[in-house]
Amino acid sequence: EYGIEKPKGYKVSFHYNAEVEYHHFGSSHPMKPWRLTLAKQLILAYGLEYAMDLYQPRPATFDELAIFHDRQYLGFLQSITPQNLDSDPAKAKYLELFGFGGESNDCPVFDGLWNYVSLYSGASMHAAHNLLNQQSDIAINWSGGLHHAKKNAASGFCYVNDIVLAIQHLLTQHQRVLYIDVDVHHGDGVEQAFESTDRVFTLSYHKYGLDKWGAGFFPGTGNINEVGPTDPSNRGKGHTLNIPLEDGIDDEQYKWLFKTVTGAVILKYQPTAIVLQCGADSLGGDRLGRFNLNIKAHGFCVEHVKSFNIPLLLIGGGGYTPRNVARTWCHETAVCTGSELHNNLPMHLPYLQAFDGAENGGGMLYPNLHNTKRHDNQNSREKLQKLVAHAMENLRYLEG
């Protein structure tokens, strides 16, 4: 071996095809696949690759994606290019139908789109496969976590729902899968896909509410009262829990909330596999987010879930301040392997200047992101206590 000891007990695998990095949503689009280059460089600079098994998964095939998605939608996704976009008037109708149209440019058609979606989905499916084979206790795919995609529509920067596909794969051997989503946005696509089954429980923490212009924070769903289907004969009833939060939630509040609520769900639902979406847009200073979390508080969610010793799939998601996305996913990789990382970034890091200078985090792995705070904390102690009480009330459905 190379000096870093493999941790006892945990086998961690890292599933990543570097080709995803070279895809561009467009120059000023907030979703930047090159944040994965930064994350990978940090992970390598700290030597974490020696503490895990590395895999370069192949892209998923059309048929594999069709396990969840409509074939007609996939056919469209496979055939559209920026070049043929406006040449065919019949396409315009489908653009609208499949979530690309409107004045919104959330889901642009870009070069290599099909390749991009098959790569990140292939990685999530391969990660799930490793858990099923018991080749890993924790499998990681930072390129996945695209929780808004629907079976026949793109939404919110997501075209194919790799999370649903991975969970479907886990369901071939696991009776109960718990999905947890710490992205600042509601995990609506995953929730909807499994709303009629009791074999998947979906739990999302997110910003919810109207802004000063009366527009709801995307995607506008995820109220505490949304607990899945209301029809008592529907098996999915009660197998959804939404934790809507206000702007500016801080480390201590979030950790307390996450530990209390997630702990209660795991205890009651008794999942045999867990999928944790680690969207890094819940960090302080995120370009789109509203929360004020530091990297270690975000990482606490991984630590806490890991402590239950249940097969765990970790996936990425949102995150729009690339240097902090990279820091967070590097830290969370280290949490999985049981490694402690030095706060001074390694000198030999190829992209050191991206993390250097006071405004970029001063060459540290754990800069204080509260310094970049742009959102006052609207979450009072009383509101959070009421929220937890309401969440516990919702969980009573599970007792049957």
Q: Are strands 240-245 and 200-207 parallel, antiparallel or unpaired?
A: parallel
At residue 140, the 3 state secondary structure works out as strand
Residue closer to ligand VJV, measured from CB, 75 or 102: 102
Distance CA 132, CA 78 (A): 29
| The one catalytic residue among 15, 129, 186, 304 | 186
Binding site residues, Zn ion, CB under 5 A: 183, 185, 279, 281, 318
Q: Is 318 in the site for ligand VJV (CB under 6 A)?
A: yes
Q: Which two tokens stand for residue 118?
A: 């098959």
Using the rule CB under 6 A, is 35 a contact of ligand VJV?
Answer: no
Task: Give the long-range contacts of residues 159-162, CB within 8 A, separation 24 or more.
Answer: 159/77, 159/107, 159/113, 159/116, 159/117, 160/65, 160/69, 160/77, 160/117, 160/118, 160/120, 160/121, 161/68, 161/69, 161/189, 161/190, 161/193, 162/120, 162/121, 162/123, 162/124, 162/125, 162/315
Q: Is 148 a catalytic residue?
A: no
Interface pick for ligand VJV out of 23, 69, 129, 185 (rule CB under 6 A): 185
Site for ligand VJV contains 11 (CB under 6 A): no
How far apart are the C-alpha atoms of 54 and 123, rounded to whole Å?
11
- 353 contacts ligand VJV (rule: CB under 6 A): no
For residue 218, state whether it binds ligand VJV (rule: CB under 6 A): yes
Q: Quote the least distance from Cβ 219 to ligand VJV, whole Å.
A: 7
Stretch that binds ligand VJV, among 59-67, 142-150, 294-302, 368-376 (CB under 6 A): 142-150
Smallest gap from residue 9 Cβ to ligand VJV (A):
32
21 binds ligand VJV (CB under 6 A): no
Closest contact distance (angstroms) between CB of 3 and ligand VJV is 36
| Residue 311 found at the interface with ligand VJV (CB under 6 A) | no
The least CB distance from residue 201 to ligand VJV, in Å, is 20
Between 161 and 339, name the residue whose CB sits nearer to ligand VJV.
Answer: 161
In this complex, which beta carbon is closest to ligand VJV, that of residue 98 or of residue 218?
218
CB half-sphere exposure, 215, CA atoms < 13 A:
4
Coil, strand, or helix at residue 206? strand
Nearer to ligand VJV, 246 or 286 (CB): 286
Helices (H), the chain: 35-45, 62-65, 71-79, 89-97, 113-132, 162-170, 188-193, 251-269, 295-306, 322-337, 381-395
**Site membership for ligand VJV, residue 105 (CB under 6 A):** yes
Which CB, 31 or 391, lies closer to ligand VJV?
31
Identified binder of ligand VJV from the candidate list 81, 104, 343, 371, rule CB under 6 A: 104
* Cα–Cα distance for residue pair 186/220, rounded to 1 Å: 8
The verdict on 30 binding ligand VJV (CB under 6 A) reads: yes
DSSP code, position 80: -
Query: What three-state secondary structure class fits 210?
Result: strand
Q: Which two tokens stand for residue 181?
A: 């989503």
Closer residue to ligand VJV (CB): 146 or 266: 146
Q: Site for ligand VJV (CB under 6 A): how many residues?
A: 21
Other Cβ atoms less than 10 A from the Cβ of 117: the count is 27
Regarding 146 and contact with ligand VJV (CB under 6 A), the answer is yes
Residues found near ligand VJV in the complex (CB under 6 A): 26, 28-30, 104-106, 146-148, 156-158, 183, 185, 218, 279, 281, 288, 317-318
Catalytic residues: 186
